[in-house]
Amino acid sequence: MLQNLEQLGYRHMTPIQAASLPLTLAGHDLIAQAKTGSGKTAAFSLPLLSRLKVQPSTGVQALVLCPTRELADQVSHELRRLARAEDNIKVLTLCGGSPIRPQLASLAHGAHIVVGTPGRILDHLSRESLALSALNALVLDEADRMLDMGFAEDIAAIIRRCPPTSRRQTLLFSATYPDNVAKMAARYLRDPKEVRLAERHTADRIQQRFYQVTDNERLHAVGILLNHFRPETTLAFCNTKQQCRDLVEVLRAEGIVALELHGDLEQRERDQVLVQFANRSCSVLVATDVAARGLDIERLEAVINVDITPEIEMHTHRIGRTGRAGESGLVFSLASLDEMGRVGKIDEMQGVESVWHPLADHERTHPGADERSTEPLSPPMVTLQILGGRKEKIRPGDVLGALTKDLGLDATSVGKIDINEFSTYVAVRRDVADEALKGLNAGRVKGRSVKVRRL
């Protein structure tokens, strides 16, 4: 199973993988302090896969608990990718926000690994549609986030349904290690080994810049920074839902493609926002901390703290969204005089002094920028939604074939293709979006006519 890692792009281990894999493959329980983007998913997935008994299946052998549906989906995707070399490994995702009936049907057919959120996992345990008696591995992913979201009692109830610590391996991953996480580890892990690679000092990869602003100029300052530095993708954090709405309105008025992500969105709206941002068809995602928990966006170039978070540990989670997997990133933090106390606590936590810059220096275009930098910031891709998904047995190859073979588009003009139960989302280069939309609506995908719209 593990011999094909190089074909999947795993040519070099990340620090967390190199430090943890010898311990977990040897069967030890593990406490790992590692941030999002450090390669932790593969660090716990490989031990799970290495000890699976595929034939005959003995029931659910591994359970991964995640704080959000988005993180659970990402973990499931990576597990399936790593398991391709082995036939018939079934990974099932069980999260709230999705209909429970299809999940019940899938569980009836059995699964080797279950990935899910605590609330929905507990729901299935209560219904007795999920049994954990055969479990030999439990992963608590982003444990600090799960506790912050109030899942402590749900996690405890789930673990009471698991085999005892002597019969299971437990792996706990957390970006931070406050007292409540330490108490969780002491309660649920057996003689764990510890790996601490949180990378708190990120000056080598993440450039943090602080700007003093008044409340009246705060939202306008975001547009100034975006037009000056021109990141392709930016995640902007606000402390309130209303601030998110206000910022999106300001950015759109400046011609910048921005979307909002907060608790008032329905799950369908949330899914479409995240697809567009991950597809690079949205320049700025404006989110609250609660809504952004568990997000793992590849190649995120910049993070903007529109407000300084009152929860100082949250600053670590915010800035950790960029500078992933060895890439560089920019972090801009806007602070009023009233927020200077919070900034001081951030400095103390990080062990470095904030570097301040005058915002006025960025009100003009960067002197080294090309002519296009005077134009509104625009994302490179557009997302098209095809009405039809896994239920119609649509595969990525079907969509790619319709765009390249049938419509004659170059494969380089097609980006990510995401397929869910009822819809398919495909990113296409902005300059061919109209042609792709018209062609797909007039043509066929998997031999049938489809309805397509531009998001």
Predicted pLDDT at 10 = 57
List the structure tokens of 213: 């602003």
Type and span of the H or E element at 334:
strand 329-335
Name the residue among 277, 280, 282 with its Cα closest to residue 292.
Answer: 277
List the structure tokens of 362: 């960025």
Predicted pLDDT at 11 = 58
Q: By CB neighbour count within 10 A (0-12 exposed, 13-18 middle, 19+ buried), where does 248 fall?
A: buried
Cβ density class 404-442: b for 16+ within 10 Å, e for less: eeebebeeebbbbbbbeeebbbbbbbeebbeebbebbee
Same-domain pairing of 173 and 211: no
Same-domain pairing of 180 and 304: no
Provide DSSP, 145-171: HHHHTT-HHHHHHHHHTSPPGGG-EEE
CATH code at position 439: 3.30.70.330
Q: List all residues 6 or more positions away from 239 whose beta carbon is below 8 Å from its beta carbon.
A: 288, 289, 306, 307, 309, 310
User: Which of the listed residues 351, 374, 397 is the one where a domain comes to its end?
Assistant: 374
Same-domain pairing of 90 and 212: no
Q: By CB neighbour count within 10 A (0-12 exposed, 13-18 middle, 19+ buried), where does 18 fall?
A: middle
| Domain assignment of residue 423, given as a range | 381-454
Predicted pLDDT at 37 = 66
Same-domain pairing of 179 and 313: no
Same-domain pairing of 277 and 154: no
Same-domain pairing of 322 and 364: yes
Same-domain pairing of 407 and 299: no
Are 137 and 30 contacting, i.e. CB atoms less than 8 angstroms apart?
no
Type and span of the H or E element at 304:
strand 302-305
Predicted pLDDT at 253 = 94
CATH code at position 236: 3.40.50.300
Look at phi and psi of residue 292 and say left if phi exceeds 0, alpha if psi is from -120 to 50, else beta. alpha
Q: By CB neighbour count within 10 A (0-12 exposed, 13-18 middle, 19+ buried), where does 449 fall?
A: exposed
Helix-helix angle 40-50:69-82, to 10 degrees: 50
Same-domain pairing of 367 and 386: no
Predicted pLDDT at 39 = 82
Give the count of alpha carbons within 13 A of 56, CB side only. 1
Same-domain pairing of 285 and 143: no
Predicted pLDDT at 264 = 86
Q: By CB neighbour count within 10 A (0-12 exposed, 13-18 middle, 19+ buried), where does 69 fall?
A: buried
Same-domain pairing of 222 and 279: yes
The 10 Å Cβ neighbour count of residue 363 is 12
Predicted pLDDT at 451 = 94
Are 70 and 274 contacting, i.e. CB atoms less than 8 angstroms apart?
yes
Per-residue pLDDT in tens (0 to 9) along the chain, 455 residues: 444 555 545 557 788 888 999 999 999 999 998 766 678 888 999 999 988 888 766 789 999 999 888 889 889 988 988 887 676 889 999 998 788 999 999 999 889 999 999 999 999 999 999 999 999 999 999 998 898 888 999 999 999 999 999 999 999 999 888 889 999 999 999 999 999 875 444 446 789 999 999 999 999 999 999 999 999 999 999 999 999 999 999 999 999 999 999 888 887 888 899 999 999 999 999 999 876 766 777 789 999 999 999 988 888 888 888 887 667 899 999 999 999 999 999 999 888 889 999 988 777 554 444 444 567 789 999 999 999 988 888 988 899 999 999 999 998 999 999 888 889 999 999 999 999 999 999 999 988 899 999 99
Same-domain pairing of 228 and 320: yes
User: Which of the listed residues 180, 197, 214 is the one where a domain comes to its end?
Assistant: 197
Same-domain pairing of 241 and 277: yes
Type and span of the H or E element at 143:
helix 143-148
